[in-house]
Amino acid sequence: MSEPGMKCSRCTAPARFRFPAHNARFCDDCLEVFVLRQVERAIAKFKMLTPGQKVLVAVSGGKDSLACWQILKELGYQAEGLHVSLELGAGQFSDASLASCQEMAQRLEAPLHLLRMEDLTGHSVEDISRANQRNFCSVCGTLKRYYLNKLCLDLGFDTLATGHHLDDEAGRLLGNMIRRHQRHLDNQWPVLEGTPGGFAKKIKPMCRLAGREIKAYAKARDLPVAQGHCPRSKGATLPYYQEAVLLLEERMPGTTRDFYLGFLEDKVKPPVQPDVASSCSVCGAPTYAEACTTCRFLEKTARRKQERTGAAQAQS
Ligand code: AMP
Ligand code: ZN
């Protein structure tokens, strides 16, 4: 990231980080100014928050969401953390993630809301994925989205911030374009408005920052980032579309920003509020079907377990 003798573009002090996309080099202090400004600009442009607003930050223990929490606090928001512990694999990754979130909460002197996925659902993610014969990561993603939204509202917040950044959003955009997912393209926006009692407002304050910029910030601020990868990701750490975006960025610095921020600039208007056909007959969450995906997952898992218990009793 740095070269010997490199000077900061803002203050000419020795620089530690180089960002070709901005044709800039930064020392630690100026990097922080740069990062805070990018987040401030995103919040203002997309009307994410009002000054000093209460906001819940979904923290995974990774650099993006911890940086998001730190920055929102620094910008004067009443930002509390929410971590859902997944307790995957042998547990080391989940333990490290939890410890990182706790250390961050201590540093920020901010409340951290902690919940275990298994307490929320009554089953392990593994059991839910197996009973429903669905891909583990997609089940985990559905459950996370559902409970992060639900907990946000239950805890009395109306806005949930996540650590999604520029590379995430550009990768998603490329995928939506290649597959011509028009509805997803129409709805891709760094803010999704909430609906009373149904959806919390979702915001992505890091959407103007690249992963490597956040990594540099986390290093400069020495954030207690959890090391390692999810034991279930099986080495595929990035979606292919994001890898493609990063390759283009490496060859042509600035491409990712041009691509994603240009897309937002050209958009005629942001998406309207989610149109919700009805509410889940089990939990009341907005859904298009009779019961929402999560309730269907849980119902089927319980049914499979009962069938297995019944079969075991019949045998004995
Ligand atoms: P991911 O889909 O794992 O890249 O995560 C995207 C964002 O979701 C993160 O930046 C966090 O804001 C949030 N998130 C992911 N996992 C968790 C978790 N276990 N608990 C709370 N928030 C999470
Ligand atoms: Zn439901």
**Cα of 57 to ligand 1 centre, how many Å?**
10
Q: Closest ligand 1 atom, CA of 117?
A: 19
Q: Which residues pair with 14 in a beta bridge?
A: 7
pLDDT confidence of residue 236: 53
pLDDT confidence of residue 88: 76
* Residue 258 vs residues 39, 47, 171, 192, 311: alpha-carbon distances, Å: 17, 21, 13, 22, 59
Pocket perturbation via mutation, ligand 1, pick of 86, 114, 116, 144 by most ligand atoms within 8 A of CB? 144
Write out residues with Cβ below 6 Å of ligand 1. Answer: 58-60, 64-65, 82-84, 86, 144, 148, 162-164
| Residue minimizing CA distance to atom 18 of ligand 1 | 60
Pocket perturbation via mutation, ligand 1, pick of 60, 64, 101 by most ligand atoms within 8 A of CB? 60
Task: Find the largest Cα–Cα distance for the chain.
Answer: 79
pLDDT confidence of residue 268: 72
Instruction: Compute CA 60 distance to the chain's CA centroid, rounded to the nearest angstrom.
Output: 8
pLDDT confidence of residue 234: 65
Residue 165: nearest ligand to its CA?
1
Burial status of residue 87 (CB atoms within 10 A of its CB: 0-12, 13-18, 19 or more): middle
- How many angstroms separate the CA atoms of 57 and 96, rounded? 18
Contact status, residue 57 vs residue 161, Cβ threshold 8 Å: yes
Q: Closest ligand 1 atom, CA of 164?
A: 10
**Cα of 59 to ligand 1 centre, how many Å?**
6
pLDDT confidence of residue 109: 98
Pocket perturbation via mutation, ligand 1, pick of 56, 59, 80, 137 by most ligand atoms within 8 A of CB? 59
Rg value, the chain, Cα: 21
3-state class of 193 per DSSP? Answer: coil
pLDDT confidence of residue 274: 61
State the pTM of this model: 0.94
**Cα of 287 to ligand 2 centre, how many Å?**
8
CB neighbours of 272 closer than 8 A, spacing ≥ 6? 193
| Residue minimizing CA distance to atom 23 of ligand 1 | 60
Pairing status of strand 78-85 against strand 191-192: unpaired
**Cα of 13 to ligand 1 centre, how many Å?**
36
Q: Buried (b) or exposed (e) across 91-123, using 16+ Cβ within 10 A?
A: eebbebbbebbbbbbebbebebbeeebbebbeb
**Cα of 298 to ligand 2 centre, how many Å?**
9
pLDDT confidence of residue 276: 66
pLDDT confidence of residue 195: 87
∠ CA(203), CA(187), CA(76), 5° rounding? 10
C-alpha closest to that of 295 among 109, 127, 92, 146: 146
Type of residue numbered 159: T
Q: Which positions of the chain have pLDDT values less than 70?
A: 1-2, 89-90, 234-237, 269-277
**Cα of 27 to ligand 2 centre, how many Å?**
49
- How many angstroms separate the CA atoms of 47 and 190, rounded? 10
Handedness of CA 55, 56, 62, 66 (dihedral sign): positive
pLDDT confidence of residue 303: 97
pLDDT confidence of residue 125: 93
Residue 137: nearest ligand to its CA?
1
**Cα of 11 to ligand 1 centre, how many Å?**
35
C-alpha closest to that of 140 among 153, 130, 155: 130
Q: Closest ligand 1 atom, CA of 84?
A: 20
Residue 57: nearest ligand to its CA?
1
Burial status of residue 296 (CB atoms within 10 A of its CB: 0-12, 13-18, 19 or more): middle
**Cα of 313 to ligand 2 centre, how many Å?**
31
- How many angstroms separate the CA atoms of 202 and 28, rounded? 30
Place of tokens 């919940």: 115
